[in-house]
């Protein structure tokens, strides 16, 4: 059950229209604490994935500031590709901001045994560039697999095809299996796409690996930011 006495986490949302079941970043039931949402009008999934959201950066900042005015203690976003804007947005916002689950990669790499590395599952492999990883602070190589072009997730997110959990799960597990078949050295999975966490438990169970996603990132960030918020409130 969510801890209702905790300050909320703010989620800056893209302008999308599709079902978001529990586990998805955009479903309040995914979080064990209160959350607030603010959508950036015109920020489509494809525009952000392709890096064409620069004209909307002021709107992203305003969304984050508005969430802060409503009481949010920290911020995350609904698209991992926004990591390209991590430094820029964090510098302009007053609250701590984590744009992408990819920010966890450097820490996860240091947790793994010798010879093991991180495997990344992304919405669009060809659009996830070295610049994204550099902004996330990733210095060591990682293996990357993308969801199929024109596949179930792409049809749902960009084509507004109805949500079909079994088909989506099959596609995602197949993508992870193909990634793991490329190397026996993968010791953990990081899911870039914020719509994949509903399947994180299925991945962990099927492949016996720890899975990191936007929910693990948001919970970590909120744990510290909420503590600071409570301390400030007590001092007042």
Three-state SS sequence of the chain: CCCCCCCCEEEEECCCCCCCCECECCCHHHCCCCEEEEECCCCCHHHHHCCCCHHHHHHHHHHHHHHHHCCCCCEEECCHHHHHHHHHHHHHCCCCEECCHHHHHHHHHHHCCCCCEEEEEECCHHHCCHHHHHHCCCCCCCEEEECCCCCHHHHHHHHCCCCCHHHHHHHHHHHHHHHHHHCCCEEEEEECCCCCHHHHHHHHHHHCCCEECHHHHHHHHHHHHHHHHHHHHHHC
- pTM score, two decimals? 0.93
Write the pLDDT tens digit of every residue in 124-135. 999 999 999 999
Write the pLDDT tens digit of every residue in 55-113. 999 999 999 999 999 999 999 999 999 999 999 999 999 999 999 999 999 999 999 99
User: What is the structure's pLDDT at 232?
Assistant: 38
| Domains identified in the chain and CATH numbers | 9-100+215-235 (3.40.50.1860), 101-213 (3.40.50.1860)
């Amino acid at each position: 059950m969510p801890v209702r006495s905790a300050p909320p986490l703010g989620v800056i949302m893209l302008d999308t229209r599709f079902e978001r079941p529990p586990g998805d970043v955009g479903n309040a039931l995914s979080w064990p604490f209160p959350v607030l949402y603010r959508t950036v009008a015109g920020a489509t999934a494809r525009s952000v994935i392709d890096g064409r959201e620069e004209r909307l950066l002021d709107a992203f900042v305003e969304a984050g500031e508005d969430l802060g005015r409503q009481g949010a203690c920290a911020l995350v976003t609904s698209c991992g590709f926004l990591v390209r804007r991590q430094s820029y947005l964090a510098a302009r916002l007053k609250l701590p901001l984590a744009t992408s689950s990819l920010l966890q990669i450097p820490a996860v790499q240091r947790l793994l045994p010798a010879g093991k590395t991180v495997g990344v599952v992304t919405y669009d492999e060809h659009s996830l560039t070295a610049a994204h990883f550099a902004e996330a602070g990733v210095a060591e190589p990682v293996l990357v697999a993308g969801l199929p072009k024109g596949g179930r997730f792409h049809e749902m997110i960009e084509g507004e095809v109805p949500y079909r959990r079994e088909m989506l799960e099959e596609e995602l597990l197949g993508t992870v299996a193909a990634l793991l078949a490329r190397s026996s050295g993968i010791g953990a999975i990081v899911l870039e796409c914020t719509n994949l966490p509903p399947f994180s438990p299925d991945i962990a169970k099927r492949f016996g690996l720890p899975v990191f996603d936007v929910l693990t990132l948001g919970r970590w960030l909120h744990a510290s930011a909420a503590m600071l918020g409570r301390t400030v409130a007590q001092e007042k």
